[in-house]
Structure 1
C-alpha cells in the first residue's frame, strides 16, 4: 500500500518531548486518511515509498548493522582523518606524539597527497558507487555521505583560510588557531564516526548528519 506521509504539525517529531510517539497522517492513494503511530505502519509494512524521517528513525535502526556494515562504515571515516592532515602542521610539530595517529595509514596518506586528483576521484567513486547504490545498506551509505561532507567542509575551510585569512593575517596566531581548530574538529568527527560505526550506531553530528540524511534514501 503506497501513499503520502504527512505531519499535521510541522514542528512535531516522531518522539515528542514527553517520550511518546507522535501520530502522523497516512493518506492512501484513494484519499482515505488514517492517523497511526509511525512504528505501527513501519512494522505492518504500510510504507513502501522512499521517505525521510530524521534522527529518531536512525536511532531506532541502529541494531540492523551487521559486522560487514560496521567494518566498512568505520573504514570510510579514515578519509576525514586524511583530509585533516593538511591542517595539522602546527600541532603535529608541537606535539609529535600525535603523529602516531597517522602511522597505520601512512601509505594511504602518501598516495592521497601524491596525486592531485585523488580526493576528487575518491569523492566521485564514493558518491556514485556507494551513496547512490541502493543495493548497499543504508548504514554504509549514510556514513559514506557523512564522510564526504566532512571532507567538503574541510576543503572549503582550507580555501577560505588560504585566500582570505592568510593574505590578511599571514602565518600568525589567527591562522594557527584556525588550523588547529579544523584539525582537532576533523579528528573528533573521524574518530567519533569510527567508534559509532564499530558499535553499530549512526554517528549523529549536528547539521552534518541532517545533510547526510537528506542525500541518502532508505
Structure 2
C-alpha cells in the first residue's frame, strides 16, 4: 500500500468491527462483573447491544451487507476491504463458541467461565488492535490466522 490512508478511510475501516464487538459482547459477562468499571462499561454499551439483537436477523443482514464491500470492484481501498474482511472472519469465529453453549452445563462452572473469558478477551484484543492500527494508518495484519484468512479472501489488490 502506498502512503498512509486518509482519515475518512481509517474511520470506514474501523466501523466493521462493531459487528464482532456486538456479537462477542455476551462473552464478557464474567469480565464485566469482576473488573473495576466493567459494570459501568457494560451498562453504557448494553442499549446498543439490545437494539442490535432486537432486530430480527440483524447480524446476518449486517454480515451480508459488509460482505459485498470486500470485492475488488467495490470501489473501496484494500485498506478498508481488508478491515471489513478481518471483522467478518472474527465474527465467523465467534460462532464456534456458541456451538458449545449447550455443553456448558456439563462442565464445571470454572471451565465455562474460563472459556467465556478467553473468547471475550480474544475478541476485545483483536478489535482493540485493529482500532489502534487503523488510527495510526497501519494495516492491522498481524493477528494470527484471522489476518491471514482476511488477506487470502481479498487478495493482493
What interval of TM-score do these two structures reach, taking the shorter chain for normalisation? 0.7 to 0.9
1:67 aligns to 2:11 (yes or no): no
Q: Distance in 1 between matches of 2:43 and 2:33?
A: 15
Whose relative contact order is higher, 1 or 2, with alpha carbons under 8 Å and at least 6 apart? 2
Q: TM-score, normalised by structure 2?
A: 0.87
Q: Distance in 1 between matches of 2:117 and 2:123?
A: 10
Match of 1:195 in 2: 132
Query: What do the CA deviations read for 1:142-181 (whole angstroms, capped 9, x no partner)?
Result: 0000001111101122212x13x314216x1110100000
Match of 2:84 in 1: 144
1:215 aligns to 2:150 (yes or no): no
Query: What do the CA deviations read for 1:33-71 (whole angstroms, capped 9, x no partner)?
Result: xxxxxxxxxxxxxxxxxxxxxxxxxxxx27341111111
Q: Once superposed, what is the RMSD of the aligned Cα atoms?
A: 2.0
Match of 1:206 in 2: 144
More strand by share: 1
Deviation at 1:115, TM superposition (A): 2.3
Give matches, 1:158-177, under 5 Å. Answer: 158-160=98-100, 162-163=101-102, 165-169=103-107, 172-177=109-114
Give matches, 1:34-73, under 5 Å. Answer: 61=1, 63-73=3-13
Larger Rg: 1
Give matches, 1:90-109, under 5 Å. Answer: 90-95=30-35, 97-102=37-42, 105-109=45-49
Q: TM-score, normalised by structure 1?
A: 0.64
Match of 2:62 in 1: 122
Deviation at 1:78, TM superposition (A): 2.3
Q: Distance in 2 between matches of 1:195 and 1:102?
A: 21
Aligned counterpart in structure 2 of residue 131 of structure 1, from 50, 70, 87: 70
Q: How many matched pairs? A: 154
Query: What do the CA deviations read for 1:106-155 (whole angstroms, capped 9, x no partner)?
Result: 44322211124111010000001x11243111111100000011111011
Task: For structure 1, list consecutive stretches of 5 or more residues without a partner in the other structure.
Answer: 1-60
Task: For structure 2, list consecutive stretches of 5 or more residues without a partner in the other structure.
Answer: none
